Amino acid sequence: MIVSGSVIRRSVKVYKILVVDDEPKIAELLKVCLEMQGMEVSCAENGREALESFAKNPADMVITDIMMPVMDGYALVSELRRKSNVPVMFLTAKGDVLDRIKGLNAGADDYLVKPFDPMEAAARISATLRRCYGYDKTQEAKKLTCGDLQLDTLSKMLYKKDIPVELTALEYKMLEFFMENKGRVLTKNQIYEAAWDQDKFPDDNSIMVAISKLRGKISDESHDYIKTIRGLGYRLEG
């Protein structure tokens, strides 16, 4: 990385992806698609094996099934979240709305249902990586503030009263969008497009769950930063 004034330039990064699935054909198909995108891919057949792999060689993103022997996807993500904010996508046959909500509540950043189009999966994984690690070469690092909150866009860290607050990649992107538009009412579709890098919002529950989790991390008894504007959307207030 070369620093020149306030402009940051970075060399191209090879992202490491960990695919966790007890169906070898699915894991291999995804591995081939991601390697075609220039990514480095390793595979594991269950959550326990994935944790061991992650400890030895941390990945930049984890793609995991839910229903697996030894340790399922929910348990895997729970263990990962104890030590890392690595972005996670659930890739599973469990496609009901309640399953999606449970997956997001468990700490996942995205959720894709089987059967899936491998190129769509690769595109969504690439979008998540851009959201989490991407940096505009011409963009200057800045700090966004709102009340006791300070968001450092270079380190991608949130501080509340100078104390670090851990956010998932999805929570960070949502909060950055809120803070860049402080005082403005943002619709669910606008928030979804900014945080998920997709044009069409699939259901209201996903964003409601995500905002609820973000609220829980930034609000306290004296201040609820994200206000619900009935019939319109949400607004961040300092």
CATH assignment of 9-133, among 3.40.50.720, 3.10.129.10, 3.40.109.10, 3.40.50.2300: 3.40.50.2300
- The one-letter amino acid code at 231 reads G
Q: pLDDT digit string (tens) for 120-168? A: 888 889 888 887 776 444 445 568 899 999 998 877 789 998 888 988 8
**Cα–Cα distance measured from residue 172 to residue 153, given in angstroms and rounded to the nearest whole number:** 10
**Cα–Cα distance measured from residue 183 to residue 86, given in angstroms and rounded to the nearest whole number:** 30
Note if the pTM is more than 0.85. Answer: no
CB 219 within 8 A of CB 152: no
Measured between alpha carbons, how far apart are the two ends of the chain, in Å? 34
Supply the pLDDT for residue 130: 81
Q: pLDDT digit string (tens) for 187-222? A: 888 888 888 765 555 567 788 888 999 999 999 887
Which of the given ranges, 13-17, 47-51, 232-236, has the highest pLDDT on average? 47-51
CB 31 within 8 A of CB 74: no
Other C-beta atoms closer than 10 Å to the C-beta of 11 total: 7
CATH assignment of 143-236, among 3.40.50.300, 1.10.10.10, 3.50.50.60, 3.40.718.10: 1.10.10.10
Residue 185 has pLDDT above 60, yes or no: yes
